[in-house]
Amino acid sequence: MEDAYARSVSEVLDFFGVDSSKGLTDFQVSQHARLYGKNGTPFWKLVFKQFDDLLVKILIAAALVSFLLALINGETGLIAFLEPSVILMILAANATVGVITETNAEKALEELRAYQADIATVLRNGCFSILPATELVPGDIVEVSVGCKIPADMRMIEMLSGQLRVDQAILTGESSSVEKDLESTIATNAVYQDKTNILFSGTVVVAGRARAVVIGVGANTAMGSIRDSMLRTDDEATPLKKKLDEFGTFLAKVIAGICVLVWIVNIGHFRDPAHGGLLRGAIHYFKIAVALAVAAIPEGLPAVVTTCLALGTKRMARLNAIVRSLPSVETLGCTTVICSDKTGTLTTNMMSVSKICVVHSIKNGPEVAEFGVSGTTYAPEGFIFDNTGVQLEFPAQLPCLLHIAMCSALCNESLLQYNPDKGNYEKIGESTEVALRVLAEKVGLPGFDSMPSALNMLSKHERASYCNHYWENQFKKVSVLEFSRDRKMMSVLCNHKQMEIMFSKGAPESIISRCTNILCNNDGSTIPMDATLRAELDSRFNSFAGKETLRCLALALKIMPMGQQTLSFDDEKDLTFIGLVGMLDPPREEVRNAMISCMTAGIRVIVVTGDNKSTAESVCRKIGAFDHLVDYVGHSYTAAEFEELPGTQQTMALQRMALLTRVEPSHKRMLVEALQNQNEVVAMTGDGVNDAPALKKADIGIAMGSGTAVAKSASDMVLADDNFATIVAAVAEGRAIYNNTKQFIRYMISSNIGEVVCIFVAAVLGIPDTLAPVQLLWVNLVTDGLPATAIGFNKPDSDVMKAKPRKVSEAVVSGWLFFRYLVIGAYVGLATVAGFIWWFIYSETGPKLPYTELMNFDTCPTRETTYPCSIFEDQHPSTVAMTVLVVVEMFNALNNLSENQSLLVIPPWSNLWLVASIILTMLLHILILYLPPLSTLFSVTSLSWNEWAVILYLSFPVIIIDEVLKFFSRNSHGIRFNFRFRRYDALPKKELRDK
C-alpha cells in the first residue's frame, strides 16, 4: 500500500481486512504471503568481465597465434609455450585481482541485512506472540516500544504512551529523533520526513510504545528500495580507466595497421627459398607481425598502474584515508564537486549542549547570565565558560548550574555508556536526553575541591555516568509523568532526605508559562516571576532558537508536600524556573579549513542533508564554508523545490547550489547523476544506510569510519578518523599519483614505440629478425616494468593543490608531448637496429659483411658466398640489439623524473627508488646474458667489453635528445608547437565538450 501515510487508520485496516484487536488469522497470513510476498552476480560472470578489455583481448589473440605458429613450425618444449604462457599468467593475475575487488563490493548488499530486525511482537488470532521478523506479512499488527528495531514498514494505528519517537537517521540523515503520530499526511510529494505516521524498517524506537499495521515487507520497504537502488547502480569507469580504454582502442587500430603493412611490404619475400615455399613464407612474416603486436602492447601497463595505485593507497592510509578501490585514488585528482552529507560528516551526529541561560539576579533590574559549554561529542569531557570566555573552575558551586545538573540527571530516561570495543561513548535513548546527561557530567559535583582531577582518574566506563549516578543515589525516583504532545514536558517526583522535589523539563514556552518563581544564580534565592523577567526569558529563547537555531529545553523544579507518592498534571504549575539550555548537532572543528582548502583547489562543496532548511543553513554558517555568499537565495534548495524547477533552471541551480535539504536516498542519487550529466566528477561523502546508493553511484564514494557497514562497503574510500579535512589530503595525494601515473605511461609508450620502430624498420630493410618475441616480452615485462613502477615515487609538485582539477577529457599523452615521445621512440628503435647492423658490418668479432649481403640474407643458401649462412643464426647481433634496447630505456627512465625539468635541476638521486630499479634491471639483464640456462631460454649470449662500449655510445644520446625537447617545452616555441599539435591526441577524446 503505497499511500498509507495519506489514509486514515480505518482505511488502512480495511484495505488489509484486519481487526486491530485480533490481528490477522492464519488463513489471512498465508493469503497475504502469496499476495504480497515475505519479508549477487554469478561468479563466472565476474571472471569473464575481467577479460572484457580490448588490450586484453589482443594479448589473448597474440598468445594463441604465437602458440599455433610454434606448433606449425614444429617447435616443442619450453620455447614453444613460454611466450603464450607468460602472457596468460599476467592476464590470470589481473583477473584474480579484479574478481576479488568486485566480490568485496557485493558485501554492501549483504550488510544491509544487519539493519533488519530479527524478531517482532505480532498480534495474530487475537493473541500476541514473538515471531521472526521474516515471517511478517502486510496487514500484521505489530507492537513496538523503546529499543525496538522496526521490523517492516508500518502505519501507526494506536498510541500506547504519551508519545512515540523514532531515530531514523540511518534512513534520512536527520540529526534528531522524530515524533510519530496517527494523523494522515496531507503533504503533496511527501518525502520520508513528511510521513510522520509511518515507521520505517530498520529504524529504532527511542521513546514510547505503540501499535502499527505492516504495509510493506522485503523489497517493498524504504530499506528495500535502497537495496534495489544499489543493485541498479553500475560501477562507473574512472577517468584513468576511460583514458586507458581509449588508448587501447587507438593502439589496436595502429597495431592492426602496422601489422598488415609489414605483412604486405614483405609479400615479395614469401617465395624466398629460405622459407621453403609460399605458405611457409606467409606464416614467417605473419609471425613477425605478431611479434610487432607483442612489441606494441604494453603488457606490463596494467601491473604497473595497479602497483603505483597500491603505493598511493599506502601513503593515504597513513593520512587516515583507507582506499577500498584502487582506481579511486586517481579519481580524486580530478574531483570537481564534493557532495557532503551534513549529519555525522560535517557535524558530529552527537547532540550536545552548547549554551546555558540562567537569571543571575534582579537587584538592578533583570540580569541574565549566559554560559558556553565546550565538547561536541557524548564523551563527558568539556568545560563551562562564562560570557567573557573565562572557564569556571567549579561550576557546581553556582546554584542554577548545580540544579540544572540535578534536573538533567533525574528527569531523564536515557543511558550513556562507554563501549571499549569501539573506544567511544554511546547513547541508548533520546539524543537530547543523552546531551543533558553529558552536561551533568561536565558541571560535576559540589563540595569537592579535588573534583575535576578526581573525575579524570576514573576509568572511562566509570566516568561515563559518574555524576549522574551520584544524583540518582541522592534522589530516589518516586513517580514519573511522561512527555506528551499537548503538555510538551516531562516531570519526575524525587525523594531526598525527607523532602519531595519535582523536576520538570520541556519546551520553553510550556515550562516558562507554568513558572511563578525563578532561582537566582548569584545567591540561590528564589524570587517571583514578573512580566519583565518573562519577556527577557522569551527574548533569550527566541534568540537561541531563531538566530542560533539551537534546540532549546527549559528546566524547572517544585518543592512538593511531604509524603506525596504520585504526580498528576495539576502538579505541573507554580514551578521555579532553573534555566534554559540550547543544544545542537555541532559542526566538526576542522571542517572550516578543509572546505576552504577545497575551494582553493577548485573543488565545489554541496552540503546534502535530511534536516530542515533553516537548521542546515545555520550549521553551514557555523562552519564558515559559505561566507562568500551574501545570502542563500539561489544557493539553498529543498529537494522538493529543486524537483519542481524546469529543466533549464535545474541546470543553472546545479551550477550554483551549495545546500540541498529535506532529501531522501533517491534524491542523493539523483543529485549525483545530474552533476555527472554536466561532466562533473563527483565525490559523495556519507555514513548512513541512506547514503549507500549515492556512494555507489558517485565517481568516488567516501564513507566515514564510524559510519554503517553498508555505507563503507558501498564506498571507494573510508575516512578512518571521520575527518572531512582528510579528504583534502587525499585529493592532494590523488593528484600527485595521477601525475606520476602519467609519467610512467609516457615512459612505457615511448619504449613501446621504440620496439615497434625496431621491428618495422628491420622488416622494411629486409634484414634478419632483430629481436625474438620472447626477448620483446622480457623487455616489456621486466626492464620496462621496474623503472615504470619506480617513477610512481616521483615527488609531488609543491603547488599540487593550487591548480584547478584537470578535465576528465584531458588526454594522458597529447599534442607536443606525443611528438616528443615519438621522437624518443624513433631514436630507441633506430639505435636498436643500429646495434644489430653494427655487429654484422663493423664488430671485430663479427663477419664484417657488406650491407648488401645483410639485406640479401634470405637468398644465402641459393648462391655462393664467402661466409657460411649459419652466421645469420648467431645470437650476438640480437643480444647486442636487445641490450641496446634495455640500456637506452634505462636512460629514458631518467628522462621521466620530470615532464619538463632538466636532469640538472632534478637529478637522478631525487628518486632513489628509480636509481635502485635501474640497477636491479641491469643486474637481471646481465643475469640472463651470463647464466647458461637463462641465456638459452632467451636466445642470448655473453658480450665483450668492446660490445658494451658500443651499446653505451648508442644509448646515451637519448638523454641529450630529450633535454633539447624539454628546453623547447619550457619556452614559448614549445608552447606554440604544443598548440599546433594539440589535435593529434594519442588518446582520442570521447567527450567533445570540456567542462
In this predicted structure, what is the pLDDT of residue 896? 82
Average pLDDT over residues 572-595: 88
Pick from 31-35, 531-535, 608-612 the range whose average pLDDT is largest.
531-535
Q: Is 730 part of a structural domain of the chain?
A: no
The overall average pLDDT reported for the chain is: 80
Measured CA to CA, the distance from residue 736 to residue 743 in angstroms comes to 11
**Closest to 754 (Cα-Cα) out of 770, 730, 733, 734:** 770
- CATH code of residue 921: 1.20.1110.10
Measured CA to CA, the distance from residue 408 to residue 468 in angstroms comes to 8
- Are 579 and 456 contained in the same domain? yes
- Are 833 and 964 contained in the same domain? yes
Where is the domain boundary, 232, 253, 275? 232
Residue 902, CA distances (Å) to 494, 646, 899, 979 in order: 81, 54, 9, 22
CA atoms within 13 A on the CB side of 511: 27
- CATH code of residue 72: 2.70.150.10
Measured CA to CA, the distance from residue 240 to residue 734 in angstroms comes to 12
Q: Is 984 part of a structural domain of the chain?
A: no
* 481-509 residue pLDDT tens: 988 877 889 999 999 988 999 999 999 99
- CATH code of residue 526: 3.40.1110.10
HEC string of 516-532 equals EEEECCCCCCEEECCHH
**Closest to 712 (Cα-Cα) out of 293, 107, 166, 132:** 107
Contact (CB, 8 A) for 580 and 544: yes
H-helix or E-strand spanning residue 448: none
Q: Is 264 part of a structural domain of the chain?
A: no
**Closest to 681 (Cα-Cα) out of 702, 698, 696:** 698
Q: How many domains does the chain have?
A: 4
**DSSP string across 691-707:** GHHHHHHSSEEEEETTS
In this predicted structure, what is the pLDDT of residue 105? 39
For the cut 70, the answer to whether the pLDDT of residue 202 exceeds it is: yes
- Are 809 and 751 contained in the same domain? yes
In this predicted structure, what is the pLDDT of residue 299? 58
Model pTM greater than 0.75?
no
Determine whether 486 is an active site residue: no
Average pLDDT over residues 712-721: 79
Q: Is 316 part of a structural domain of the chain?
A: no
Average pLDDT over residues 175-180: 80
User: Which grid cell is 820?
Assistant: 616528443
Where is the domain boundary, 517, 552, 584? 584
Give burial (CB, 10 Å; 0-12/13-18/19+) of 459: exposed
- Are 228 and 367 contained in the same domain? no
Measured CA to CA, the distance from residue 307 to residue 860 in angstroms comes to 48
Where is the domain boundary, 584, 612, 641? 584
Beta bridge partners of 199: 154
Give burial (CB, 10 Å; 0-12/13-18/19+) of 933: exposed
For the cut 80, the answer to whether the pLDDT of residue 886 exceeds it is: yes
Measured CA to CA, the distance from residue 351 to residue 438 in angstroms comes to 10
Measured CA to CA, the distance from residue 394 to residue 671 in angstroms comes to 50
- Are 551 and 406 contained in the same domain? yes
Measured CA to CA, the distance from residue 424 to residue 173 in angstroms comes to 21
- Are 715 and 849 contained in the same domain? no
HEC string of 714-778 equals HCCEEECCCCCHHHHHHHHHHHHHHHHHHHHHHHHHHHHHHHHHHHHHHHHHCCCCCCCHHHHHH
- Are 432 and 337 contained in the same domain? no
Residue 921's domain comprises 746-971
- Are 682 and 762 contained in the same domain? no
HEC string of 555-597 equals EEEEEECCCCCCCCHHHCCCEEEEEEEEEECCECCCHHHHHHH
* 341-358 residue pLDDT tens: 787 778 777 889 999 999
In this predicted structure, what is the pLDDT of residue 101? 42
Q: Is 737 part of a structural domain of the chain?
A: no
- Are 907 and 869 contained in the same domain? yes
Q: Which of 53, 153, 341, 691 is catalytic?
A: 341
Lowest-confidence segment of 59-73, 608-622, 726-740, 879-893 by average pLDDT: 59-73
Question: Helices 239-265 and 301-318: crossing angle, nearest 10°?
Answer: 160
Contact (CB, 8 A) for 176 and 585: yes
Q: Is 228 part of a structural domain of the chain?
A: yes
Lowest-confidence segment of 53-62, 269-278, 720-729, 915-924 by average pLDDT: 53-62
In this predicted structure, what is the pLDDT of residue 55? 57
Q: Is 967 part of a structural domain of the chain?
A: yes
- Are 768 and 910 contained in the same domain? yes
Residue 58: pLDDT band with limits 50, 70, 90:
low
Residue 679 Cα to chain centre, angstroms: 19
Residue 673, CA distances (Å) to 429, 666, 677, 694, 844 in order: 37, 11, 6, 9, 69
Q: Is 517 part of a structural domain of the chain?
A: yes
- Are 699 and 778 contained in the same domain? no
Measured CA to CA, the distance from residue 243 to residue 241 in angstroms comes to 5
Measured CA to CA, the distance from residue 553 to residue 532 in angstroms comes to 20
- Are 326 and 369 contained in the same domain? no
Find the length of the chain. Answer: 995
Residues 6+ apart with CB under 8 A from 961: 823, 824, 827
